[in-house]
Structure 1
Amino acid sequence: MEDKAGVVQGQSVRAGKYSRVERERRFLLARPPELSAVTTTRVITDRYVVETRLRLRRADFTDGRCELKLTQKVPVLQPGAVQGLITNTYLSPAEYDVLAALPAAVLSKCRFSVPPLGVDVFDGHLQGLVLAEAEFTSNKEAQSFMPPAECVAEVTDDTRFTGGQLVRTSRQDLLRWLAEYGLYPEGSQDAAE
C-alpha cells in the first residue's frame, strides 16, 4: 500500500519493470576524505521538484563530463539498508533545461568517490556536513558491510540525513542534529548562537 506521500508501507519492496530496489547505508564523517584516496570527483546540484517525489540532478565531473538525470524515489518506512524504489531517466541538456524551470528546492554538494563509499561534502547552509554512503546489490551484502574507521556514526535509519529532508533543513537544525552525534563543524558554535 502506498500513502499520499508515496511511501511504501507494510509490504516487501521488489524491483519493477522500470524501477530497482535501492539499498544503501549512510554514515557521518568528521571531515572530507584525503584527496589522495579519491578516485572521482563531481559537483552535484540536486533540484527537488516541489510537491513530488522527483529529483533533477546535474553532475559535473572534473574531466568535463556532465550527467543529467531525473530520478523518482519511492521511500519505504522500515529500518535498514532497503531505502525503497528508485527510477532514473538520463536526459539531454534540452530536456534538463525544460524540467529545471519547475519550482524546486536546491541542494548542492561535492561528491568524492572513495571506494567503497561516495562521500558528499555539502555547501551553503549545509556546510560542515560530510555524509558517506555505500550502495549494495543484495541485503546480505548490505548487512555484512563493515564501515571504514573514518565513519563516525551510522545514520541509515535517521531520515533527517536524506537529500529530500536536508534540502528543507535549516542551518540551526543541521548543527543540532550533528551535535547529537558528537560532531561540531568548524564555526558551528557561532552559527548555532
Structure 2
Amino acid sequence: MEIERKFLVTAPPKGYEARPFRMIEQAYLCTEPVVRVRREDDSFYLTYKSRGLMAREEYNLPLDERAYLHLLKKADGQVLTKKRYLLPVEGRPDLTFELDVFEGAYQGLILAEVEFASEEDAVAFTPPEWCARDVTWSGEYQNSRLAMEKG
C-alpha cells in the first residue's frame, strides 16, 4: 500500500540542486487503473497502481531495458521526464521528500511527495512553507493525468 501526500512547489528549498538526484522517464500504458513503465537511471520497472489519491495499492515489477523500450512504444500520451531529489523532512528522520523537477513539456513544474506508514500520519503531517499547495486530493498533478494532457 502506498500512502503519500503531494505538494505543488513554487519556491523550492535553497541548495536542493546540490543534492544527488535520479533521472526518471516514465510513460503510461493505461491510466484506469494506472499501468506505467519507468526508467530510473539504469533500472526499469512496470508499475501497477490501483485507484485512489492519498492511499492506493502499488506493485513494481522489474523489467530489462529491451522490455522497457518495447513497452514505451506502446504508451499513450507523452513521456514524462524529471529529476528526483531526495530531501530529509526536518524533525522527521523517518520521512523523506521526493522533490520532482520536471523537464520537457512540464519544464518548470516542481512537485514534492512524502510517503507515510499510515493514513493517520499522512493526514496529521504539516508541510514546510516551501510546499505552496497541497494537491493530494485534487488529483490534478497525478503523473498519469499529466501524461495525458498537453503540458
Q: TM-score range by the shorter chain?
A: 0.7 to 0.9
Structure 2 unaligned regions, length at least 5: 89-95
* Alpha-carbon distance between aligned partners in 2 of 1:167 and 1:33, rounded to the nearest angstrom: 26
Query: Whose RCO is larger (CA < 8 A, sep 6+)?
Result: 2
Question: Where do 1:1-193 residues align within 5 Å?
Answer: 21-35=1-15, 39-50=19-30, 53-60=34-41, 66-76=42-52, 81-82=54-55, 84-105=56-77, 106-115=79-88, 116-171=96-151
The CA deviation string for residues 7-51 of structure 1, in whole angstroms up to 9 with x for no partner, is xxxxxxxxxxxxxx2111000111344335865301110011156
Q: TM-score, normalised by structure 1?
A: 0.66
The structure with more helix, counted as a fraction of residues: 1
* Alpha-carbon distance between aligned partners in 2 of 1:38 and 1:136, rounded to the nearest angstrom: 26
C-alpha change, 1:152 and 1:103, in structure 2 (3 Å) is closer
Paired positions, count? 142
Amino acid at match of 1:54: V
The CA deviation string for residues 114-150 of structure 1, in whole angstroms up to 9 with x for no partner, is 1221011112221121110001121122122221221
Contact 1:32 1:121 in 2 (8 A): no
How far the C-alpha of 1:155 sits from its partner, in A, is 0.5
Instruction: Indicate the percent of aligned positions where both proteins have the same amino acid.
Output: 33
Q: TM-score, normalised by structure 2?
A: 0.82
* Alpha-carbon distance between aligned partners in 1 of 2:25 and 2:31, rounded to the nearest angstrom: 18
* Alpha-carbon distance between aligned partners in 1 of 2:72 and 2:80, rounded to the nearest angstrom: 13
* Alpha-carbon distance between aligned partners in 1 of 2:136 and 2:45, rounded to the nearest angstrom: 24
Contact 1:49 1:103 in 2 (8 A): yes
* Alpha-carbon distance between aligned partners in 2 of 1:113 and 1:38, rounded to the nearest angstrom: 11
* Alpha-carbon distance between aligned partners in 1 of 2:18 and 2:49, rounded to the nearest angstrom: 27
Amino acid at match of 1:94: R
Higher CA-based Rg: 1
The CA deviation string for residues 130-186 of structure 1, in whole angstroms up to 9 with x for no partner, is 110001121122122221221111010111110011112234xxxxxxxxxxxxxxx
2:149 aligned counterpart, secondary structure: coil
Q: Which consecutive aligned stretches of 4+ in structure 1 deviate over 3 angstroms post-superposition?
A: 31-40
* Alpha-carbon distance between aligned partners in 1 of 2:12 and 2:6, rounded to the nearest angstrom: 15
